Amino acid sequence: MSTTLTHAAEATGKKSQQAPATLPKPDGDFYQIIECLSEQERAIVKRVREFMETKVAPVITKYWAEDSFPFGLVPALRELNIEGLGYEGYGCRGGSTLLAGFVAMEMARVDSSFATFFGVHSGLAMGSIYLGGSEEQKQKWLPPMARLEKVGSFGLTEPLVGSGTGGGLTTTARREGDTWVLNGQKKWIGNATWGDVTIIWARDVADNQVKGFIVENKTTPGFTVEKIQNKIALRVVQNGLITMENCRVPEENRLQADASFRDTAKVLRMTRAFVAWESTGCAMGAYEHALAYAQTREQFGKPIAKFQLVQDLLAKMLGNVTAAQCMVLRLSQMQDQGKLLDHHASLAKAFCTVRMRETVAWARELFGANGILLDYQVARFFADAEALYSYEGTREMNTLIVGKAITGLSAFV
């Protein structure tokens, strides 16, 4: 596959019908929402873009095809110093959640797997400790995670309980003196096959409340992880099936500020906003690839971009991308102002992933048969979008959260 790093529009006179040897021009910010960031913040986004374009883009299709993770890129990611964006102190990058959103979009614009790996670690795992940990727990765990010396996972979903985790978790936690004994299984847990710590959400058998535990993957007896095989989306992310058999975890590893599933939901509120940005980035990347392809692919002696129906597809894609960008922009402004509620994040997650799914399908369509070849990138966007659509709450779950908020009536069964 291609390792050339120029943008398509810079490759003048290109007539080849082969897989493009270039990245598409970053044309997907039509309303220039980047101008909502300060100069300093824009410089950070630019560094992330350079990292994604020069380090990730050249190799990611190979890793996707191999169903493996590019561990060699972790040191370069560490140098970007963007772990813990939006969290103050504890060695974290700090800054606004708006900036964190732009970073998520920028990553997914090139690759949603990489954005997911980052989101699981920096959002779900570090966020659980930042929001639910005691001062001592934050001091202990967040600095090494911010330096990527310890990679984190988030274990909520179970083989038999996905959408219904709020009331239905079957993983149990039983207290024995200063120790908790965990039993159960967790499915789909990103980074768990190779990471260092997993936040395990389990039901306390004494009070029936969900509690969070910081579990050390590699040193906790009874904690095993099996890699989930044969995925057709986000193949670069390593998802694990965790089995816990009488795992003993000290009380000091129980998230001290968390008391029930409401606290788990606080983490999901934050990370659903992140996924809304991520899906916007996925749609943006697919649109940019489609635009570049339309300008170079010729049929009937003309670039296909000259055909009205192709322009219609491109304009519809750009409309979706721009609508999603404006939505997540305001979402993060509300988050930074402390106004974000669960239903705000749920509406954005549901809306942006639906629009993304439509956009990547149109992008794939525009590539014709080449759209099903990994070589042309857009097939990867098309496949990965399916996972973004389903994780962090399906469209149905997020819709029910919005429905309850706007009608005052819960339609959850």
Ligand X SMILES: Cc1cc2nc3c(=O)[nH]c(=O)nc-3n(C[C@H](O)[C@H](O)[C@H](O)COP(=O)(O)OP(=O)(O)OC[C@H]3O[C@@H](n4cnc5c(N)ncnc54)[C@H](O)[C@@H]3O)c2cc1C
Binding segment (CB under 6 A) for ligand X, from list 31-39, 75-83, 207-215, 386-394 = 386-394
- Judged by CB under 6 A, the stretch of 78-86, 150-158, 205-213, 250-258 that binds ligand X is 150-158
Which listed residue (84, 101, 123, 155) binds ligand X by CB under 6 A? 155
Find the part of the chain contacting ligand X (CB under 6 A) among 12-20, 63-71, 81-89, 383-391. Answer: 383-391
CB of 107 to ligand X, least distance (A): 15
Measured from the CB atom, the residue of 155 and 212 that comes closer to ligand X is 155
Contact 322, 328 (CB under 8 A): no
Of 80, 220, 242, 227, the residue nearest 155 (C-alpha)? 242
Instruction: Quickly tell me which residue has 């207290």 as its tokens.
Output: 175
Residue of 44, 48, 215, 397 interacting with ligand X (CB under 6 A): 397
Q: Is the Cβ of residue 239 or residue 346 nearer to ligand X in the bound state?
A: 239
Tokens 């009070």 sit on residue: 207
Pairing state of beta strands 197-204 and 152-155? parallel
- Out of 70, 119, 152, 190, which residue is the one contacting ligand X (CB under 6 A)? 190
- Least distance in angstroms from the C-beta of 84 to ligand X: 18
Question: What angle (nearest 5°) sits at the alpha carbon of residue 341, between those of residues 120 and 198?
Answer: 20
Which helix (H) or strand (E) segment holds residue 98: the answer is: helix 97-110
Q: Interface with ligand X includes 390 (CB under 6 A)?
A: yes
| Distances in whole angstroms, Cα of residue 271 to Cα of each of 44, 104, 124 | 20, 11, 6
Minimum separation from the CB atom of position 160 to ligand X (A)? 8
d(CA 186, CA 90): 28
Residue 129 CA to residue 262 CA, distance in Å, equals 15
188 binds ligand X (CB under 6 A): yes
Least distance between ligand X and beta carbon 366 (Å): 26
CB of 8 to ligand X, least distance (A): 29
* Least Cβ distance, residue 231 to ligand X (angstroms): 7
- If DSSP codes are grouped into helix, strand and coil, which group holds residue 32? coil
> Using the rule CB under 6 A, which residue among 77, 108, 120, 290 binds ligand X?
120
170 interacts with ligand X by CB under 6 A:
no
Minimum CB separation of residue 132 from ligand X in Å reads 15
DSSP-derived secondary structure letter, 232: S
The DSSP result for 128-190, as a single string, is HHHHH--HHHHHHHHHHHHTTSS-EEEE---SS-STTHHHH---EEEEETTEEEEEEEEEEEE
Q: Give the pairing of strands 298-299 and 197-204.
A: unpaired
* Interface segment toward ligand X; rule CB under 6 A; list 38-46, 69-77, 174-182, 184-192: 184-192
**Residue from 77, 82, 156, 350 that binds ligand X (CB under 6 A)?**
156
243 part of the interface to ligand X, by CB under 6 A: no
Closer residue to ligand X in complex, CB, 111/392: 392
Which amino acid is located at 123 in the chain? Answer: G
| Residue 387 binds to ligand X (criterion: CB under 6 A) | yes
Helix ranges (H only) for 236-341 are 261-296, 308-336
Contact pick of 103, 182, 234, 273 for ligand X (by CB under 6 A): 234
Burial 127-155 (b: 16+ CB within 10 A, else e): bbbbbbbeeebbebbbbebbebebbbbbb
Quote the tokens at residue 218.
Answer: 């590699």
Number of residues that bind ligand X (CB under 6 A): 21
CA atoms within 13 A on the CB side of 138: 17
- 113 in contact with ligand X (CB under 6 A): no
Instruction: Give me the least distance between CB of 159 and ligand X, in Å please.
Output: 8
Residue found under tokens 């599933």: 261
CB nearer ligand X, residue 198 or residue 325: 198
- Which CB, 186 or 254, lies closer to ligand X? 186
Residue nearer to ligand X on the CB measure, 156 or 310: 156
Residue 353 within binding range of ligand X, rule CB under 6 A: no
Does 206 participate in binding ligand X (rule CB under 6 A)? no
Tokens of 76: 């370069």
Tell me the residue nearest to ligand X as measured from the CB: 162
The reply to whether 350 sits near ligand X by the rule CB under 6 A is: no
Question: Least CB distance from residue 144 to ligand X, whole Å?
Answer: 20
Q: What are the φ and ψ backbone dihedral angles of 402, each rounded to 5 degrees?
A: -65, -45
- Of 154, 176, 167, 162, give the one whose Cα is nearest residue 246: 176
Contact residues for ligand X (CB under 6 A)? 120, 154-157, 162-163, 188-190, 234, 239, 387, 390-394, 396-397, 413
